[in-house]
A and B are shown apart, each in its own frame.
Chain A
Amino acid sequence: GAVVSQHPSWVICKSGTSVKIECRSLDFQATTMFWYRQFPKQSLMLMATSNEGSKATYEQGVEKDKFLINHASLTLSTLTVTSAHPEDSSFYICSARDPSQGAIGYTFGSGTRLTVV
Chain B
Amino acid sequence: GQNIDQPTEMTATEGAIVQINCTYQTSGFNGLFWYQQHAGEAPTFLSYNVLDGLEEKGRFSSFLSRSKGYSYLLLKELQMKDSASYLCAGLETGANNLFFGTGTRLTVIP
Please give the residue numbers on chain A whose beta carbons come within 8 Å of chain B beta carbons, in ascending order: 6, 32, 34, 41-46, 49, 91, 93, 95, 97, 103-104, 106-111, 113
Does the CB pair B97–A93 fall under 8 Å? no
Query: Knowing A103-B30, A103-B48 touch, does A93 contact B96 (C-beta < 8 A)?
Result: no
Does the CB pair B103–A42 fall under 8 Å? yes
Most buried by A among B42, B50, B85, B100: B42
| CA of A91 to CA of B41, assembled, Å | 9
| CA of A107 to CA of B50, assembled, Å | 18
Closest A-B pairs by Cβ, 7 of them: A108-B42, A43-B103, A43-B100, A44-B100, A43-B102, A104-B48, A110-B42
Query: Knowing A103-B30, A103-B91 touch, does A97 contact B41 (C-beta < 8 A)?
Result: no
Please give the residue numbers on chain B whose beta carbons come within 8 Å of chain A beta carbons, in ascending order: 30-31, 33, 40-45, 48, 50, 85, 87, 91, 96-103, 105
Does the CB pair A43–B31 fall under 8 Å? no
Q: Which of B50, B85, B97, B101 contacts A34 (CB 8 A)?
A: B97
Q: How far is the CB of B88 from chain A (nearest CB, A)?
A: 9
Residues on the A chain within 8 Å of B85, using CB: 43
